[in-house]
Chain A
Amino acid sequence: MEALLPLIILSPFIGAAIIGIWGLFSSSFRHQEKLIGTIATLAVVLPFVLVLNTFLSYEHGKPVSFHLFSWMATKNFSVDFSYVLDEASLLMGLIVTGIGSLIHIYSIAYMHHDKGFYRYFLYLNLFIFSMNNLILGDNLLVLFLGWEGVGACSYFLIGYWFEDMAKAMAAQKAFVANRIGDFALLVAMFIIFTSTGSLKFSEISLSGDVAFWVALLVFIAATGKSAQIPLYVWLPDAMAGPTPVSALIHAATMVTSGIYLIARMSEVFLQVPGVMILVAVIGGLTAILAALIAIAQNDIKKVLAYSTVSQLGFMFMALGAGAFSTAIFHVMTHAFFKACLFLGSGSVIHAMEHMHLVDDPQDIRTMGKLGKYMPSTSKTFWISTLAIAGIFPLSGFFSKDEILGKLFAAGHEHVMYYAVWAVGMITAVLTAFYMTRVTFLTFNGKKRFPEEGHPHESSPLMTIPLWILAGLAIVGGFLGLPAVVGHGHYNWISEHWLSISKAPIIVNRILHADLTTEWILIGISFCVAIGGVYFAYSLYSKYDLQADLKVKSFFGSMYRVMENKFFIDEFYNAAIIRPFVWLGNYAIMPFDKKFIDGLVNGSGYLVYSAGSVFRQLQSGLVQKYALLMFIGVVVLLGYAIFG
């Protein structure tokens, strides 16, 4: 089996190569959807089987590594295409390849009859390839390869359906936000290499100022990829892509890579408590901001997108508290229920589209009572909603409760964590509320689409993945039972899997709270979730869509702000994009035209007045160039002699 491990990386690549090359050269191949779907799915199922096999036969503290070949080997710098399957990467690998497989299967039905079918699966396979590089690479450069690769694939998939420039703006936005993160990561890599002489995760050890800068830069990189303040704006817009893509890339896998990266570098972060607090605060702010926006949205995918941003905020809170393995736990449970929610929304959109009766198939105001027509979608969607709301005993309850518990315990370290904890609690209420709202308005209540419409349940290819994910969303939480149960001995993820090995991949800050506090916190979480769901349910079942008016009057003028997403896009437009365009139009261009020309003309004038011989000076382009060169010579000469 060991010899087959390279296939984890290579198989999606081979799949992409086959589909890409074949599709490019044979137009008849492009329409063979079954063949393409099978190749692409197999290319992802195979790695899943391999990762699962490694996982089942894994011995603690003995990471399995494999090596493809040496990427670069020079005297001072060498980096290999080598990968490591340890506790952390195995867990992520299972999520990525597992959910990836389900989404490939789902996509075969969802993308049926799309004219770019082969292109879609090409990108999807390439994405899995890049994501595997990102999580399994044993050094930062391979991680960076994956990091850029997932960015490029996400970019192509966001812009997948758009053939005109204006609408491809969403893709542009994603690209720019990600580039800022990439820049930070590149600089962090340079710093790490100069101070440790290696880019391998296992050999990175930093301290002092270096640790501070690296942690800060890695955090900035993570805010780009994982959509946190101030770079989260791209994620809601990324919903322009096909829905399965939103489920895979923009909910379950790629957006969590920032969290994964921080968790892998936990040792560095633990040395700089200041940055840790920053991480927690940014996470908290992002969580509550996104939750508030989500309340006022009517586009089903937009709600889910903001909910993703909000949940990612929860993960950052956990990271900030030093509970890295808890963050990974939430990554996992979130992957289950959010992928299920997105795929469910895809199923709904699919059904709404096929009715051909509504203008916007994503608007929940034109849905309602869909549960009657789409039982499977409805049930799985409700399960996942309750899971994300944190209803006991679904998975979201356990991971969210653990995050909040750890935050509270971290309050001993710094009082700021209490504040973050409080924000987290409020966000939990809001989450329960808006998720219940969107689900209720979609599947229950009054039928708000035209009477003649008869939406249909999607094909089994789509509902089976939904049920699998819903099942996982129910049981996933038992992998991390809270500390009150047997003093944490039954918290498989944090206590057994991620922390027990002798050389831990992820080091957690030691956070203890006494049992009474734990019980109280669990009680609060329990009540908060139930309360939020119950309140929303009763409100919306009573007033249906009109309940939004109540919410509106409750929030007052704040509601308008929420509806408009806190005017963040407008703010960025005014504060960053407009000045940049202005700079381009009025500063850079005139810099070209006015400044350089002016400089050249001005000094031309100097030369003119200096010598009567040269009175015939007139500006001409070649001479302007020559004059600039001449000025360059004079300046450099002046510097060389007098400088």
Chain B
Amino acid sequence: MEFLQVNPFHYLTVAAAMFTIGALGVLTRRNAIVVFMCIELMLNAVNLSLVTFSNMHNNAAGSMFVFFVMVIAAAEAVVGLAIIIALFRNRQDVDINNMNIFKW
């Protein structure tokens, strides 16, 4: 059953796809929270690839890295959501397209 064999390449493909989906989501979604979730998706894609590489190279550095990324993503989420809540309190709206006090 050759085609069921999962090799690192498959993981990486998934990671790359996730990353692209995340990036394109950032470019297209209007809700600040969804945009932020897309960014998280990009970070998780990276986590997947890091774990894969860690496995390939048979060393732990990559896996360790993933923990750092996760912690930092959590910290980022705290700050990000706080900013979004502050914005919501002032405008009752988190649509990033309505946010243009500053222009060229």
Contacts and interface: CB of A to CB of B under 8 A. Distances in A.
Interface residues of A, number: 19
B91 interface: no
Contacts of B99: 620-622
A621 B100 contact: yes
A617 B29 CA distance: 7
B26 A626 contact: yes
A516 interface: no
B3 interface: no
A611 interface: yes
Residue among A589, A592, A623 having the largest count of chain B Cβ atoms under 10 Å: A623
B24 interface: yes
A623 B100 CA distance: 11
B23 A623 contact: no
A627 B103 contact: no
Interface string B44-84: 00000000000000000000000000000000000000000
B27 A618 contact: no
A507 B9 CA distance: 75
B90 interface: no
A616 interface: yes
Contacts of A614: 24, 27-28
Contacts of A607: 24, 27-28
Contact of A616 (B28, B95, B100): B28
Contacts of A641: none
Contacts of A613: 24
Contacts of B26: 623, 626
A373 interface: no
B10 interface: no
B27 A626 contact: yes
A617 B28 contact: yes
A300 to B, nearest CB: 48
A604 B26 CA distance: 12
A630 interface: yes
Interface string A577-590: 00000000000010
B4 to A, nearest CB: 28
A613 B100 CA distance: 26
B29 A616 contact: yes
B30 A621 contact: no
Nearest to A631: B27
A622 to B, nearest CB: 5
Contact of A620 (B23, B30, B103): B30
B96 interface: yes
Interface in A234-256: none
Interface in A565-619: 589, 592-593, 604, 607, 611, 613-614, 616-619
A617 to B, nearest CB: 5
A626 B35 CA distance: 11
Interface string B80-104: 0000000000000001111110011
A619 B26 CA distance: 12
Interface residues of B, number: 16
Contact of B96 (A592, A593, A623, A627): A623
Contact of A592 (B23, B97, B104): B104
Contacts of A592: 104
A630 B97 contact: no
Contacts, number: 45
B27 A630 contact: yes
Given A614-B24, A627-B27, A620 B104 contact: no
B23 A618 contact: no
Contacts of B104: 589, 592-593
Contacts of B30: 616, 618, 620
A627 B96 CA distance: 14
A138 B96 CA distance: 60
Contacts of A611: 24
Nearest to B96: A622
Nearest to B24: A614
Interface in B1-48: 23-24, 26-30, 35
A620 B96 contact: yes
A70 to B, nearest CB: 45
Nearest to A616: B28
Nearest to B104: A592
Contacts of A622: 35, 96, 99
Contacts of A623: 26-28, 96-97
B103 A621 contact: yes
Nearest to B102: A621
Nearest to B29: A616
A311 to B, nearest CB: 49
Nearest to B103: A621
Contacts of B98: 620
Contacts of B27: 604, 607, 614, 617, 623, 626-627, 630
A296 B51 CA distance: 85
A32 to B, nearest CB: 49
A135 B73 CA distance: 62
B44 to A, nearest CB: 18
A619 B23 CA distance: 16
A537 B9 CA distance: 99
Nearest to A592: B104
- With most chain A CB atoms within 10 A of its CB, the pick from B28, B29, B99 is B28
Contacts of B100: 620-621
Given A592-B104, A593-B104, A620 B97 contact: yes
Contacts of B103: 621
B86 to A, nearest CB: 16
Given A611-B24, A614-B28, A623-B96, 18 more contacts: A589-B104, A593-B104, A604-B27, A607-B24, A616-B28, A616-B29, A617-B27, A618-B30, A620-B95, A620-B97, A620-B98, A621-B96, A621-B100, A621-B103, A622-B35, A626-B26, A626-B27, A627-B27
Interface of B: 23-24, 26-30, 35, 95-100, 103-104
22 contacts: A593-B104, A607-B24, A607-B27, A607-B28, A613-B24, A616-B29, A616-B30, A617-B27, A618-B30, A618-B97, A620-B97, A620-B100, A621-B96, A621-B100, A621-B103, A623-B26, A623-B27, A623-B97, A626-B26, A626-B27, A630-B23, A630-B27
8 smallest CB-CB distances across A and B, nearest first, come from A620-B97, A614-B28, A621-B100, A592-B104, A622-B96, A617-B28, A627-B27, A620-B96
